Each structure stands twice: as C-alpha cells, then as structure tokens.
Structure 1
Amino acid sequence: MKKNIMFQGTGSSVGKSLLTAGMCRILKDLNYSVAPFKSQNMALNSFITRDGKEMGRAQVVQAETAKIEPIVEMNPILLKPSSDVGSQVIVMGEVFKNMTATEYHSSKPMFKGVIKEAYDKLNEKYECIVIEGAGSPAEINLRENDLVNMGMAEMVDAPVVIIGDIDRGGVFASLYGTYMLLEEEERSRVKGFIINKFRGDVKLLEPGIKMLEDKINIPCLGVIPYFKLHIDDEDSVSLRFTHQGKKELVIGVVRLPHISNFTDFTPFEMEPDVEIKYINSVFDFEDIDLLIIPGSKNTIEDMVYLTNSGLSKKILEHHKNNFPIVGICGGYQILGYEITDNGNNESNIQKTGGLGLININTLISNEKRTVQVEGDVDIEFMGARLKTKVRGYEIHMGVTDFNESYNTFVHLDEGHDDGAINHEGNVLGTYLHGVFDNDEFRKFVLDIIRKSKGIETKDNDLSFEEFKESQYVELANIMKANINLEKMIQIIEHN
C-alpha cells in the first residue's frame, strides 16, 4: 500500500493549505518522495505549468515545499468563480465550460475517473501523497457524490486528520460537531485532530483537549501556534485584504469584486519598507505611491463596478497628476478604451468602455491563452530606464489590439510582444502574472517611488526565490515543533 495522508478541516480558512505544504516539506526533509494533491480547488489564484496547463496556486506552493515541479495532476479540477452562482470549470488544466453550482454538483460523477487517474499518476511516481480537502466533510448537503473530502479519502484509502481553527472561536464544538456528523465508516478514517492558530499558553487548553479526546476517542496530534508567514495560501485569503500598517512606500491595489491572482503582489511582502493597501473605496487613495489594477475573472463587470463606485473617476484624477499606474491582465484590459464580450464568455454585459489610459481595445474570446513566457524588457517608465529579462505566465481569454503605436513592455522570446506603456510613460499594462517575482523589475519600480520620495534605495540580499524558501523552512520548523511527528509518520505509514 502506498503512503498517504489527508488534511480535512472544520471549515474553510482553517489552515489546510499551509499545513499540507508544511507536511510536504517535513516529509521531503525525511527523504520521502512526496507530492501534494487536491482533487477540486475553488480559487481565483491560478498558475500555468510548463506545459501550459492551469492549476491552483496553493498546490504550486505545496509542490515547491516538496521541491518538485508543479504539474496539473496535483489539482485536476479547478473552479474559478465568475459570478455568485457559477464558475468556470477547469479540468486537467483546460477550460471545460462555465457551470452553475447546481450543474456542477450534478455532474460530479463524470469527474470521478479524471480525479482517480490524476491521483494514480502521482501515486506511481511518488512514495507519499499529502492530500488536501476543501471546506468541511460535515457539509452533509454535499455528501452525495463528494469528490474532495471523505469521498476522496475513500477513493484512495487515505487516513484523515481534521484541522480546527481556534482563532475564530468554538474550536472544540467545531471539531466535535464535524466528527459526529460523519458516517460511522468515515469516522474510522479519522486518526487525529490538530488545533491551529492558537495564541496563549497551551496548558490552558489541555483540559479541553483531554475532554475532546475522551468524547471522540481520537488523539490530538498537535497545537499549532498562530503565525504569519508570507506564503501564498488560499486558506488565509482574507488576511491579504486586511490593512497591515503604515510603511514608507504604499502600493494601492484595487480590490475588484472578481479579483484574481492577487498572489502577484506577494513579492512586495519581502520588502521591509513596502506596504500593500487594498483599495475598497474612493477614501482609500490617501498616501498611496503606486496604483495597481490587478487581474480579474470578469473584466467587464469589474469595470462597471469601478464606474459605479466612483473609483474610475478617482483613478483618472490621480493619473492627471502624473501618478504611476500598472495594470496586470484584466487590469491591463481595464486600462484600455473598450472591452467587448459578444459571446458572453465572462459576463452578460457585452461591451463597456475602459479607463482610456492606453489606446487599446480588448475582445473577450472563448479561447484561453495559458502559457509560461519570458522575454526582453527595454523601457522607460516614470523617467527611469530599464533593460532586463523577465519571465511570467499568461492566463486570459482576451485578445488586445493596439489602436496606435506604443512602447512595448516586453518582447517575448516566442516572437510577439506583450503589454504597453503610454506615451507619457506613467501607465504600464501587461498580461504577465508573476511579473513582480522578477527581482530586477520589482526593484526598478520600487526605486522609482523611493527616489520620488527622497528615500534611500534598499538593497535586499535575498532574491524572491530565496525569500520563499526561507518561509517554507520556517513553516516546516513551526510544524515540527508543535505536532506529534512520530504519530503522524505512523499514520502516513498506515501503521
């Protein structure tokens, strides 16, 4: 029997993604050949693999902690919400179709074979698979045809550890209720529980732990303290949008209703003088030094939101004052004159005007471009010059045409150009996700702001790749210090 373990939770945002990542690194350090797996991920943060397949960012992080290249088999089904009731369904890295929640739920049986085949491919290659569930296994209304929690555990005969988040309160009730709502056969798979995000003296928690262990007859495998690391994590998505405090440089990111790939801004978190401030209203523009319009899963509706909320007017006011603005993917499309979706591929609205800061038009097509790219940058932006190479990835259904000649942002190695800089040199748009992962480009943009504010430039000794690795090491160390690793290994070995 191959080795595996599955982390399920009492609900969303309890820390499943991070603990799965940490377990991958711990096992790798113990010389296991290990891979992550999540059968179905619902997220607007996605990544493009080397072979052009789309998968969830959380499984990419987990692959990085396991020190392996991410492949789409680690996340065979990705749901990208495009409205309150529907999602774009990505199957094995490619667009399947847009489906309502009801349509998708009724179609789950047809995806079971896809999921099992993906898992089996990983299982053939790796010694151990660390599986992440989604939401909670106690969502009894979704138990029929479940493919992501206990249904997944049953499919691959995996032992289960349940994670509860004490920071939100009621952790004992959540753990007990989750366990008791499981079927008897499902309970037999549960080998332990972990309490996550604890603040304070663990001794005060021990009587409650003992009482819960007595009630459900499964052990506590650890109490993980509350910590903050700079790791892309679907389970802590809301924390990204929380104001983190004032620093010397403030980058404003417009919080679009359908914001996607906000992980593009994780690299700024390694910069000691940089703060990311998410813009929710016209009152949030105070003190920002750079405005970024991020990716979007529904560009037209998000542009309509900018207009109706007054944010577009505020953005244009800043632009008139020679304020630097960057648009990424959907944000790049929003910078243009017109966005059209005749086929209703993303929205029921077929056409809207953009901000008009770059003279481009975008047609939303039914074909998605998913590719890793790299190329040469030779630009002038805000009066500064940069010549370098960048790499990133594209995920978009829009085709953008230029109405006049522009300064191209990057000349791609594959033969065409991406992005544009306006004639005034203060607005930059690009389709490249991960563009700020490139250390030289990120430093170039930040140093422009530092110079304009009379702040000394900062030389960060770490590259972004080194910074990420330092965070992964810290995550594994925190887990090792606070879990019963010997017992966890026994569970993984099915002893």
Structure 2
Amino acid sequence: MTARTIMVQGTASSVGKSIVCAALCRLFRQDGLRVAPFKSQNMALNAFVTPDGGEIGRAQAVQAEAARVVPTVDMNPILLKPEGDARSQVVVLGKSIGSLGAADYHTRKPELRTLVREALDRLRASHDLVVIEGAGSPAEINLKERDIVNMYVAQIADAPVVLVGDIDRGGVFAAFVGTMELLEPHERARVAAFVVNKFRGDIRLLEPGLRFLEERTRVPVLGVLPYVKQLRVADEDSVSLEERRGRRRAKADEIEIAVVRLPRISNYDDFQPLEHEPGVVVRFVEHEGAIAGADLVVVPGTKSTMADLAWLRQSGLAAAIVARARRGEPVLGICGGCQILGETIADPHGVESPETFAEGLGLLAFHTQFGREKRTSQVRARGARATFLCDPDAPAGPSGGDLFGYEIHMGRLARLPHASGAFAVVARNGVADRDLDGDASGDGAVVGTMIHGLFENIEVRRTLLAHLRRRKGLPPPPPGTAVPSASDEYDRLADVVRNNVNMDLLRRLVQP
C-alpha cells in the first residue's frame, strides 16, 4: 500500500513549519499510524547523523523522533549547509558531494528531482502516512521554475497542502492572501487549509480576520495554534538565535553559560537541553565583555573553522578566552570549537577555507588537519579522564555510564604525546571502536570534544551543572527538577494541535 500524504508549507521561512510537522508526526503516531517525515531539500547548519552514518537536517531527525521511527537519509535526501552568501556544501542521501555555488546548484535541480521522487516513494512504500515539510514560501516566483521542495513535491505526492502563517510577526492575513494570489490556479487548488501559528491573546478578536480570510480565498482555517512557551524541541533555523538576543545575565543563585555566537555557528541546538534546566541562563554572545563573569564559556561548532578563528581574534574574544583558561576558569570547545582550542589547524586541500594554515588558541594538545572525507557517525563513549563534563570513577547512571552523541566533521585531530583525550569512543555507528575524542587541559579547566549532542545525556548535564555550582559556592540543585523528556514535549505539541484545530477536517485531509 502506498502511504497517504499531507504537506505543510509556509507563507515564509521560520513560521513554524518544522514544529507543526513534528506535532503532526506525533499526533498521527498516537492514532496508530506508521508515520514518516519528509523534506526534499533542507538548508541548515544544524544537522544530525542517522544510525548508518548519513547526514540529514536536524528538523527531520526531530520529526522522526516524534513519529517514533528511526531517522533515515530518505527523510531529507538533500541537505544544503551554507558556507557563504552564495555557496553551500551539498549533502545528497547523507553524503557530501562537495561545495556548489547557487547558480551551479540551480542548474542541477532537474536531475535531483528524480532522486527526490525515489526517496519519497521508498518512504511511502513502508509507512501509512508521510508528513511533508516545504521550505520558505511556495510563492517565491523566481525559484518556482525549478522548484524541488514546495508545490513540485506536493504534486508528485498528490498531497493536500496546509499553509502556515506566523501571526506573532504581524501581517499574517496579507501573507496568506498574497501567497494565494501568487500561486498558479492548479497550485491554489492544492491548498486545503490555513493554520495561524504563534497566537497570543483573545481569539475572539481574531475571528473577523479568520472569516475574511475564508471568504476571500474559499479555503477553510484549520485552526489557530497558540504560542508555545519553553518548548524543548531542537531548533535548526538561525532566526531562533535572533530570538535569544538580549537574554538577561544570570542572578547570583543561577549558573550562566556563555556560548560564543560565531559568524558561521553550527549545531547550536547542542545547548537547548541546558537552556531548559532550572537555574541556568544560556546566552549567545559576540564580544569579549559579554563573557566576563560567565561560569562556563563555550566555543561551539562552526562550518568555517579558520574564518571563525580569525573573527575570534579580531573581536578580542580569543584573547579573553585564553586569559580565562589561564585563570583555571571552565572553557569548552565542541567540534570546530574544539579544533580552535588546539595548537594548529591545517587545510592543505582547501576543503573548508582558502587559508591553508592557522595557529589555534594553544589551549589543548593536538593539531587539526582537514581531509576530503567527512566523518559522520553516531557515537557511544565514556569519560577518559575527570573533567567538568564527566567523572570516570562516578557510579554509572541510567545509561550504564556511557554517553551518546554524533560526529560531523572533516578535521582530524593528531594529539601530542602528553594528550590523553576527553572521552573514550567505544562504538561508532553501532560497530565497536577504540579511539580517543578531543582533549582536556592538565587542570581539567579546558575541554574539547568532537561529539555533538552531549547535553542530551542527563548524566553529562548533571556533572557539568554540579561542578559549576560548586565553583560558584551554590548548593546542588533541589530534587524533582528534571527536564521533561523529548517524548513528553512531542506529546505536548500533539495536544496543542488536537485542542486547537478542526480534527474532523484534519483527518479528512489524510484519508485515502
């Protein structure tokens, strides 16, 4: 049986398509359907690694988790990872095929349509329902001729389209009507319903606008979804970083974690679990004064390590981080941030940068060299030495003492003789391995790791926060303050949809 389909498109980027898709994945899974997410082309620097080592957008991994299925590369067959204003690394079926300029990539879209169709067909052959996400807006008329992610996909999937608009930004009715006006008649015919997203206030005041929208377009409003606060679901869009600007400093009884907002930051969703911990303030900072007084400074992942290292030096943050480390104050580097903390970075093949060599910050004992082959792997590891992230001698936690995460990098670390590694890798992609990850300084104040997703591990979070609270002279956090599980959050999202949309209409949209 070929799976039914439903597609979520938006009036613009960042209107909440990914979250609505995740909610639908969990809702229909609760109803007993085998559900799979799909997005033909994703542009994001927050990525995830599937169990077989393929790279996909973080949003589709989140949606797969919501649907309680294993993520696969078919769920996001094309991933674009921006390297500049007009160039991206292109990942096809989980593997990088190199970097392309925007014009070159655009010329290859016709051949990629076959790949998109085949991936979608494989998902439909093994599931009851495929929840499809669009990208940007279907009314981007300059891109429609070679569209491979919006109405083209709706057509090949024969999918009804739910159009989502963000009322929190304002102008949502103009966005809905304008989008419909710019669609071709056969495209308008596919739009089956509207969803107003991120509403705050008295819905009675909105009802005249909803009636106007339905009368003007002859398309029903499926529902109005409220603004959901403190949602613990991974972001993949840089707009979510803009929303974090101006976050307050920590109070005397709170922990403050300052994450350097590199110009080409990637996988910043690493820190979302910490953002939801009680008594923790996570700030994304861009100047040296902003890290003064922070309990932990993090240099995160980056798509362009050498360029962001140069920016760190120009901004004064590099010198401030080194001074902090010399004082024994905690510093953490993840992936590209880990490489920045090392002795040197070499890119002899020009894989990531036109620069072939750069001096690192010299805080950790390894050299980095970029190769042509990207490592993408799910990782199981354990602490190699005592640091603020782990205590190898501590009693095993719920995971048996092991931690889980994933690697996405093209740089390889060559440790100096006295380096011991921060973690010991015991398996990659389910295959036993014996390797060291990253490094830690002699006093344990500086830690570098190539593993993303560390803070999804509750024992890592507990160890880190307990260490930071001790340094600050604070008592351990009180019991009963556990962060809700991801599954709880997906159930919460599903409940929001059930309680705020016309469920009879929604079920009709996915009936054969």
TM-score norm. by structure 2 comes to 0.93
State the distance in 2 between where 1:76 and 1:384 align.
36
Deviation at 1:234, TM superposition (A): 2.7
Distance 1:131 1:280, change over 3 A: same
Counterpart position of 1:366: 372
Q: Tell me if structure 1 keeps the 8 A contact 2:383–2:423.
A: yes
Is residue 306 of structure 1 aligned with residue 325 of structure 2? no
Residues 179-188 or 453-462, more deviating: 453-462
Is residue 450 of structure 1 aligned with residue 469 of structure 2? yes
Is residue 23 of structure 1 aligned with residue 24 of structure 2? yes
Counterpart position of 2:509: 491
Q: Tell me if structure 1 keeps the 8 A contact 2:365–2:439.
A: no
Deviation at 1:439, TM superposition (A): 1.4
Counterpart position of 2:429: none
Secondary structure, aligned partner of 1:429:
strand
Matches within 5 A, 1:453-464: 453-458=472-477, 461=480
State the distance in 2 between where 1:285 and 1:123 align.
49
Deviations 1:84-137 (A, max 9, x none): 111100000001110011111111011111111111111011000000000000
Deviation at 1:462, TM superposition (A): 7.4
Counterpart position of 1:264: 270
Q: Which runs of 5+ in 2 are unaligned?
A: 394-400, 427-432
Deviations 1:429-476 (A, max 9, x none): 111111122211221111111011121112565776x52112111111
Q: Tell me if structure 2 keeps the 8 A contact 1:195–1:223.
A: yes
State the distance in 1 between where 2:422 and 2:204 align.
57
The one-letter amino acid of 1:493's match is Q
Deviation at 1:373, TM superposition (A): 1.4
Secondary structure, aligned partner of 1:456:
coil
Deviation at 1:340, TM superposition (A): 1.2
Secondary structure, aligned partner of 1:234:
coil
The one-letter amino acid of 1:433's match is H
Query: Which residue, out of 449, 452, 459, partners 1:433?
Result: 452
Counterpart position of 1:225: 226
The one-letter amino acid of 2:283's match is K
Residues 200-209 or 407-416, more deviating: 407-416
The one-letter amino acid of 1:170's match is G
Is residue 479 of structure 1 aligned with residue 500 of structure 2? no
| Number of residue pairs aligned between Structure 1 and Structure 2 | 493
State the distance in 1 between where 2:142 and 2:507 align.
33
Deviation at 1:217, TM superposition (A): 0.6
Is residue 129 of structure 1 aligned with residue 148 of structure 2? no
State the distance in 2 between where 1:116 and 1:46 align.
22
Deviation at 1:246, TM superposition (A): 4.2
State the distance in 1 between where 2:450 and 2:479 align.
27
State the distance in 2 between where 1:415 and 1:190 align.
53
Is residue 392 of structure 1 aligned with residue 398 of structure 2? no
Secondary structure, aligned partner of 2:262:
coil
Matches within 5 A, 1:119-198: 119-198=120-199
Matches within 5 A, 1:15-164: 15-164=16-165
The one-letter amino acid of 1:22's match is A
Q: Tell me if structure 2 keeps the 8 A contact 1:40–1:147.
A: yes
Deviations 1:300-343 (A, max 9, x none): 10101101111101111211221111111101100011111121
Counterpart position of 1:405: 418
Distance 1:380 1:483, change over 3 A: same
Secondary structure, aligned partner of 2:475:
coil
Counterpart position of 1:338: 344
Q: Tell me if structure 1 keeps the 8 A contact 2:295–2:468.
A: yes
State the distance in 2 between where 1:317 and 1:415 align.
34
Counterpart position of 1:14: 15
The one-letter amino acid of 1:168's match is R
Secondary structure, aligned partner of 2:333:
strand
Secondary structure, aligned partner of 1:272:
coil
State the distance in 1 between where 2:412 and 2:390 align.
29
The one-letter amino acid of 2:300's match is P
**What is the CA RMSD across the aligned residues, in angstroms?**
1.6
Deviation at 1:411, TM superposition (A): 1.6
Distance 1:382 1:118, change over 3 A: closer
Query: Which residue, out of 240, 244, 264, partners 1:241?
Result: 244
Counterpart position of 2:362: 356
Deviation at 1:369, TM superposition (A): 0.5
Distance 1:157 1:454, change over 3 A: same
Deviations 1:357-400 (A, max 9, x none): 01211111111011111123142226984444222111100011
Query: Which residue, out of 400, 421, 425, partners 2:440?
Result: 421
The one-letter amino acid of 1:82's match is E
- Which stretches of structure 1, 4 residues or longer, exceed 6 Å deviation after superposition? none
Deviation at 1:480, TM superposition (A): 1.1
Q: Tell me if structure 2 keeps the 8 A contact 1:38–1:132.
A: yes
Q: Tell me if structure 2 keeps the 8 A contact 1:375–1:391.
A: yes
Secondary structure, aligned partner of 1:398:
strand
State the distance in 1 between where 2:377 and 2:243 align.
26
Deviation at 1:423, TM superposition (A): 1.5
State the distance in 2 between where 1:170 and 1:244 align.
26
The one-letter amino acid of 2:241's match is S
Distance 1:402 1:240, change over 3 A: farther
Secondary structure, aligned partner of 1:177:
helix
Secondary structure, aligned partner of 2:99:
strand
Distance 1:383 1:113, change over 3 A: closer
Q: Tell me if structure 2 keeps the 8 A contact 1:322–1:426.
A: yes
Deviation at 1:404, TM superposition (A): 2.8
Secondary structure, aligned partner of 1:490:
helix
Secondary structure, aligned partner of 2:421:
strand
